[in-house]
Amino acid sequence: MRSLLVSRIKPLQVLSTPTRQLKNKVPEYQKLFQEDNGLPVHLKGGTTDVLLYRFTMSLSLFGVAYTLYELLKAARPKKNK
């Protein structure tokens, strides 16, 4: 019985797939980010960077305004009915 079980088990086959070579984009990004075009580094990535920056700034401003509102609300005495 044991010989039947052992004979049915096949060793794992190792698939050798060729590795895909990726193009090195670092020199392109170095040129882009080192270019002196008057933009700050966090906005040199293009439209996506600008949208993320504006979203983050608006969320931060909303958070500061809401915090100030809650602090002012907590500082006022409650009205007795």
C-beta of residue 49 within 8 angstroms of C-beta of residue 43: yes
Asked whether residue 19 carries a pLDDT value surpassing 80, the answer given is no
Provide mean pLDDT across the span 9-14: 56
Q: Can you tell me the distance from the alpha carbon of 76 to that of 1, in angstroms, rounded to the nearest whole number?
A: 86
User: Residue 5 has what pLDDT?
Assistant: 58
C-beta of residue 44 within 8 angstroms of C-beta of residue 33: yes
Q: What distance lies between CA 63 and its chain's CA centroid?
A: 21
pTM score > 0.85 for this model? Answer: no
User: Residue 81 has what pLDDT?
Assistant: 74
User: Residue 64 has what pLDDT?
Assistant: 98
Q: Where are the domains of the chain?
A: 41-76
pLDDT digits (tens, 9 = 90+) for 25-68: 999 989 988 999 888 988 888 899 999 999 999 999 999 999 99
